[in-house]
Every structure is written in structure tokens, then in C-alpha cells.
Amino acid sequence: MKEQLNSILENARAELEKSADVKSLEELRVRFLGKKGELTAILKQMGGLSAEERPVIGQLANSVRQQIEQKIAERGEKLRSEAAALRLASEKIDVTLPGKDIPVGRPHPLNAVLDEVKEIFLGMGFDIVDGPEVETDHYCFEALNMPKSHPARDTQDTFYINDNVVLRTQTSSVQIRTMEKRKPPIRIISPGRVYRSDAVDATHSPLFHQIEGLVVDKGITLSDLYGTLDLLMKKLYGKDTQIRLRPHHFPYTEPSAEVDLMCFNCGGKGCPMCKNEGYVELLGAGMVHPDVLRGCGIDPEVYSGFAFGIGLERITMGRYGINDMRLLYENDMRFLGQF
């Protein structure tokens, strides 16, 4: 019996040492120490022993049990710490690694400038109105004092959908739509796309954007136009910026003016950018023609107004020093990422 007990102990030690995880360890515990285990089986035979032998074998059996239990505890401890170490290693996070660069979107330069312009005009009490890009000849030309035979039509190469329907060449069409619907006082801007059958180059595109402005009320004068545009440009380009009005002709304004901006490159001294003029041409404007007012049911004896049309591309390019309009449409991230 002694030998059997000793061999159980030895066997258990060897098997336990080999056990690879907590589960197999438990199986071994059942096999050696469990109710139907090897040790129990031996103890059941103790009844056949003599009175002298019994305590000796009893002691030995207890010591064997204790040693196996201790071995199981030690082995369990070791297996658990090994497993924990493995898990730690596999879950390790190197907090010193550089983070992933998550690209963040930002407004397109055209939208950024448009948003600024809208803010400025909203601050002056203007409404922002919208108009259709597919427009009738009436709103795009006729009602703006440009009958079919008018030579000014030639300056705007028009995409015709049919004899009477065009892709609008100018946002000025929204002036008419607005005056037909609203009565003075009117203070609106209308930004949007316009289309002209132009070949693409650094300063032309068949699709570009304008911001139309219209103010109609009693006692509106050219100095209101000047003050409004002067404020706009000072806010966009800095407080030292100056504008100048140059006589021009548009069929729907009288008098008409082209508005120049002091060259943002040389500050008015003259440089290659402004072709030594000191100023760059910026937009068209004027006092709304009495015939246009009358056509919309507004009495020009009572009311007067001013209007202007700004090229959004032009003021954006000036604002950021962009020298090729195509950059604004190509969606090249190397370009757009700079704003």
C-alpha cells in the first residue's frame, strides 16, 4: 500500500507538471483526489489493515493528499500567471505610436468666401433669395432692357434650351423676379450659378457664380451703392482697401458703373498683377433703370434703386491670390487642402 501511495504521488507530480491549462489541472485533481479518484480507492482498502499499520498508512495517505494539493495549487498559480502574461502581451497598446491622420473636411474656397459675403449682407439687413438656373428669355434679357436685337446680348454667349428658354447668363434675372413679387423697400442678394458658352481657360469657365444685389426704396442714390460696396470690400480685403467707380454701360442700369478694387498685391502702386493700373476690375453695378422698375410695377418717380453683380470666382481668387480659375473646379486635394 505504501508503494501504491508513493507511486500515486510520483505519478501525480509528473502529470501535474505536464498539465498545460487550468482545465486539465482540474481533470487531474478529480483523477487523483476526487471521490472516485485513485487516492480514495486506496483509502477504501484500509479496512483490511492491521491496527498497527492503519495509522502509519493513514498518515502517509494524508501527507500524499497534502502534497498533491499543494502541487495543484502551485501549478495552478503558475498557469494563471502565464495566461495573464500572455493576455497582457497580446492586448498591449503602444501609446507612443503616432496617431492615424483623420482627414477633416473644410469649406471649398468659393463657399468660404460666399459665406463671408452672406454674413456681411445679412448684417446690413439684406435677405438672401434664390432663382432658377433654367430661365426664360424674359427674365434673363427682355425685362432687363435687352430685347432680342440688343447688341449687349452678344457679350454673353448664351446656352439656349429653346428659343425662349436659356441657362441664365447672369443672376440679374433674380432682380426682376424679386421686384415682381415684392414691393419696396427691397434689400436682397442672390448668389448662384450662371452659364456662358465660353471655352475654359485661366479666367473663363462655362459655369461660374455670381452674387446679385438689389436695393430699392425711396431716396436710394449712387452713394448708397458706393457705401455698400465699399463696406463689403473693406470687410473682405481689409480696412485700407479702396474701391473706385468707373463709368460703364449696362442696359438695365442708368447710370452704370464698373467697380474696381485697389490692387491687393501692390496696394494701388501698380504691379504686373494689376497691369500697372493699381486697380483691378471687380464687378458691374448701377442705378436700376427707370424702365426696369416700371416694367416690374414699381413707380420710378417714387422709388429708386441700385443693383450690382459680383463674380464670386473673381473675389475668391483675389482674396486668396489664386491665379487660375480652373483650380476652383478640379477638386484637387493638394489645392483644396491649403484653405
| Contact with ligand DAH (CB under 6 A) among 32, 121, 139, 250 | 250
**Closer to ligand DAH by Cβ: residue 139 or 250:** 250
CB under 8 A, 24+ apart: contacts of 292-295: 292/143, 292/144, 292/145, 292/175, 292/176, 292/179, 292/252, 293/179, 293/216, 295/143, 295/176
Applying CB under 6 A, the site for ligand DAH has a residue count of 11
Q: Pick from 253, 279, 293, 298: which binds ligand DAH (CB under 6 A)? A: 253
**Spatial distance between the Cα atoms of 312 and 305, rounded to a whole number of angstroms:** 22
* Near ligand DAH by CB under 6 A: residue from 285, 292, 296, 327: 285
| Site for ligand DAH contains 295 (CB under 6 A) | no
- Kindly indicate which of the ranges 64-72, 95-103, 267-275, 278-286 contains the residues binding ligand DAH, using the contact rule CB under 6 A: 278-286
Q: How far is the CB of 288 from ligand DAH (least distance, A)?
A: 7
Q: Does 307 bind ligand DAH (CB under 6 A)?
A: yes
Select from 309, 316, 318, 328 the one that contacts ligand DAH (CB under 6 A).
Answer: 309
Which residues share a beta bridge with 260? 244, 281
Question: Among residues 72, 121, 172, 279, which is the contact residue for ligand DAH, using CB under 6 A?
Answer: 172
Nearest-approach distance from CB 138 to ligand DAH, in angstroms: 16
Instruction: Yes or no: say if 279 and 260 are a contact pair by the CB < 8 Å rule.
Output: yes
What are the φ and ψ backbone dihedral angles of 42, each rounded to 5 degrees? -65, -45
Q: How far is residue 49's CA from residue 5's CA, in Å, rounded to a whole number?
A: 15
Name the helix (H) or strand (E) containing 247: strand 243-248
Q: Which three cell numbers stand for residue 263?
A: 490692387
Neighbours of 124 (CB within 10 A): 13
Q: DSSP states of 305-330 as a string?
A: EEEEEEEHHHHHHHHHT---GGGGTS
Q: Contact with ligand DAH (CB under 6 A): which of 131, 191, 268, 286?
A: 286
Which residues 185-214 are close enough to bind ligand DAH by CB under 6 A? 212
**Binding to ligand DAH by residue 264, rule CB under 6 A?**
no
For residue 216, the minimal CB distance to ligand DAH (Å) is 12
Under rule CB under 6 A, residue 170 binds ligand DAH: yes
Using CB under 6 A as the criterion, which residues of the chain lie in contact with ligand DAH when the complex forms?
170, 172, 212, 250, 253, 284-286, 307-309
